[in-house]
């Protein structure tokens, strides 16, 4: 079993808050992390360095998640890159065809998963560690409490409207 600190993850999501949340969760578990704002940005990063795993949103501007998957599978050097799709659209009709296409397109290759948003740190990290056959860095009681706080925060804001989210950003000084 490998070490988390030896693995690099590419997080691809067009929503800055989600991208930052995923990046922080993954970094806190000891992984090296890079991020991309959409499929096109991800391709540019893949040209420079191939990560050990990629998390991918399905619905993004410029190049969607399914378009990126198709591009990856056509290129021999990227064809076996493990991908975890993290989407809010797994159950709605807007992206369900993309999810079905993704699931059919990647069958028979390395393990892949689809996780519905909002994703909790525990589910995200368990999935990553399972696919990469690694253990996260040692988790202390303080880390467990922080993960629990993060999960509670995700639950609290998952159904918030844009006004509440703007107020939270203002309070945090992230405007």
Q: Are 12 and 68 in contact (CB under 8 A)?
A: yes
| Assigned domain for 157 exists | no
Question: Quick count: other Cβ atoms within 10 Å of Cβ 137?
Answer: 14
Does any domain span residue 144? no
Whether 175 is in a domain gets the answer no
The total domain count for the chain is: 1
Question: Is 41 domain-assigned?
Answer: yes
- Who has greater pLDDT, 151 or 50? 50
Look up the pTM and report it. Answer: 0.73
73 pLDDT band, cuts 50/70/90, is: confident
Instruction: Answer yes or no: is pLDDT of 172 > 70.
Output: no
Domain assignment of residue 163, yes or no: no
Are 56 and 85 in contact by the 8 Å Cβ rule? The answer is yes
For residue 24, the domain's CATH number is 3.40.50.2300
Query: Does the residue 105 lie in any domain?
Result: yes
Q: In the numeric block, which tokens belong to residue 66? A: 């399914």
Residue 146 within a domain:
no
- Mean pLDDT taken over the chain: 80
Alpha helices in the chain (DSSP H): 16-28, 39-48, 65-74, 93-105, 121-132, 141-157, 162-172
What domain range includes position 30? 2-138
Residue-level pLDDT at 114: 80
Answer yes or no: is 48 within a domain: yes
152 vs 63: CA distance, rounded Å: 32
Q: How confident is the model at residue 156 (pLDDT cuts 50, 70, 90)?
A: low
């Amino acid at each position: 079993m490998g070490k988390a600190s030896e693995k690099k993850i590419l997080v691809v999501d067009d929503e800055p808050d989600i991208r930052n949340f995923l990046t922080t969760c993954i970094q806190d578990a000891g992984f090296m992390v890079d991020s991309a704002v959409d499929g096109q940005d991800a391709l540019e990063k893949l040209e420079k360095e191939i990560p050990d795993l990629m998390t991918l949103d399905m619905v993004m501007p410029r190049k969607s998640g399914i378009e990126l998957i198709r591009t990856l599978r056509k290129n021999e050097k990227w064809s076996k890159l493990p991908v975890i799709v993290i989407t809010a659209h797994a159950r709605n009709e807007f992206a369900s065809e993309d999810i079905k296409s993704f699931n059919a397109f990647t069958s028979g290759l390395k393990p892949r998963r689809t996780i519905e948003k909002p994703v909790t740190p525990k589910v995200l990290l368990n999935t990553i560690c399972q696919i990469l056959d690694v253990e996260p860095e040692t988790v202390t009681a303080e880390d467990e409490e922080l993960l629990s706080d993060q999960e509670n925060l995700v639950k609290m804001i998952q159904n918030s409207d844009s006004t509440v989210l703007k107020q939270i950003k203002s309070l945090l000084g992230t405007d």
